[in-house]
Amino acid sequence: MQYKAIKLVKRPELRITPDLFETVTLETPAIVDGQILLKQTHMSLDPAMKGWMTDDRKSYIPPVELGEIMRSSGVAEVVESKHESFAVGDRVVGMIGWTEYAVSDGQGLNKLPPGVSAEAVLCVLALPGLTAYQGLIEIGKPKAGETLVVSGAAGSVGSMVGQLAKAEGLTVIGTAGSDDKCRWLEDELGFDSAINYKSDDLAEQMAGATPNGIDLYFENTGGPVQHVVFNRMNAHGRIIVCGMIADYNTATPAPGPSWINIIKRRLTITGFTMPDHWDDVPRMMQELATYLAAGKLKYRAHKLQGLESAIEGINLLFTGGNTGKLMVEL
């Protein structure tokens, strides 16, 4: 049987363009003892992939080599098994890549509990929820009554952060790039307020929404929100630096604010990357599943159709065109 996969053949300069990829048709390999054959059903598209395409060998994860199938996480079904821990029909989540089928020895795959949809896995239990949980709960140590601002709030990670913070009793303000996204945050997800960061009066709106200052800032974007928030941080505030998507497609990063407040107000700024915490994934997944079962985490999936929709579709992450966790349905 034949299947399609997409290889990275060129490194990006500023933008991700179709000429970086080559779609190939491959023969399904025969599996040997200890292996399984996976048919991928849902494939996650994430901003970090831009970094994985570049030749940065000092990053937290090695780059995808040219000629290799593009790296991504996804949900798959076991369709053949010669592995004692996996049966045909099992559903798994893991790093599967831009491919319709993959052979695996099971390492790095987590089996999915029955009844949980692939969308719920990619939107909540996998990278977005895990990142939100690690950053907010483990690093931010939020306390009821505190005020949290999250940038990229209508995104996959940001929407989980805000809802987890609401569930923990915080006042939550989110920033997003359109009025529609802001309405979704306030009306559907229960944020206390949401601010369109493209407004002319961003600073005034932020001041109005945070009369008691800001205790926790969950940074997903960088850009103008960072400057406005930084000036409103309270003493002993915490800034969780998760992502800087505003700088991913620019030639030079934006000039930063003066960091003098880090000293004066005894702030802690902590960068983190989820892959450092893989060992803790089973526990965090369980915690997230509890919030999910209690109806405290709403989510939405933005689904593209067919393997090759990934090539153009990944750019929705950088234009704000994705309304929900971006994924490909194969």
Ligand X SMILES: NC(=O)c1ccc[n+]([C@@H]2O[C@H](COP(=O)([O-])OP(=O)(O)OC[C@H]3O[C@@H](n4cnc5c(N)ncnc54)[C@H](OP(=O)(O)O)[C@@H]3O)[C@@H](O)[C@H]2O)c1
- Which residues would be at the binding site for ligand X (CB under 6 A)? 46-48, 127-128, 131, 152, 154-158, 176-178, 181, 220-221, 223, 242-246, 272-274, 317-318, 320, 322
Q: With respect to ligand X, which residue has the nearer C-beta, 3 or 318?
A: 318
What's the chain look like in SS3?
CEEEEEEECCCCCCCCCHHHEEEEEEECCCCCCCCEEEEEEEEECCCHHHHHHCCCCCCCCCCCCCCCECCCEEEEEEEEECCCCCCCCCEEEEECCCECEEEECCCCCEECCCCCCHHHHHHHHCHHHHHHHHHHHHHHCCCCCCEEEECCCCCHHHHHHHHHHHHCCCEEEEEECCHHHHHHHHHCCCCCEEEECCCCCHHHHHHHHCCCCEEEEEECCCCHHHHHHHCCEEEEEEEEECCCHHHCCCCCCCCCCCCHHHHHCCCEEEECCHHHHHHHHHHHHHHHHHHHHCCCCCCCEEEEECCCHHHHHCCHHHHCCCCCEEEEEC
Min dist CB 110 to ligand X, Å, is 17
Nearer to ligand X, 78 or 127 (CB): 127
Q: Which of 106/128 has CB closer to ligand X?
A: 128
Least distance (Å) from ligand X to the CB of residue 294? Answer: 22
> In the complex, what is the shortest distance from the CB of residue 278 to ligand X, in angstroms, rounded to a whole number?
11
Indicate the residue among 81 and 221 with the shorter CB distance to ligand X: 221
State how beta strands 193-196 and 171-176 pair.
parallel
For residue 87, the minimal CB distance to ligand X (Å) is 31
Structure token pair of residue 282: 């089973």
CB nearer ligand X, residue 13 or residue 105: 13
We find the least distance from the C-beta atom of residue 145 to ligand X, in angstroms, to be: 26
Between the alpha carbon of residue 77 and those of residues 2, 33, 83, the distances in Å are: 17, 18, 14
CB of 249 to ligand X, least distance (A): 8
Instruction: State which residue, 272 or 291, has the beta carbon closest to ligand X.
Output: 272
Closest CB 271 distance from ligand X, rounded Å: 7
Nearest-CB residue for ligand X: 155
Shortest distance, position 169 Cβ to ligand X, whole Å: 23
What does the angle CA 79 – CA 80 – CA 84 come to, to the nearest 5 degrees? 120
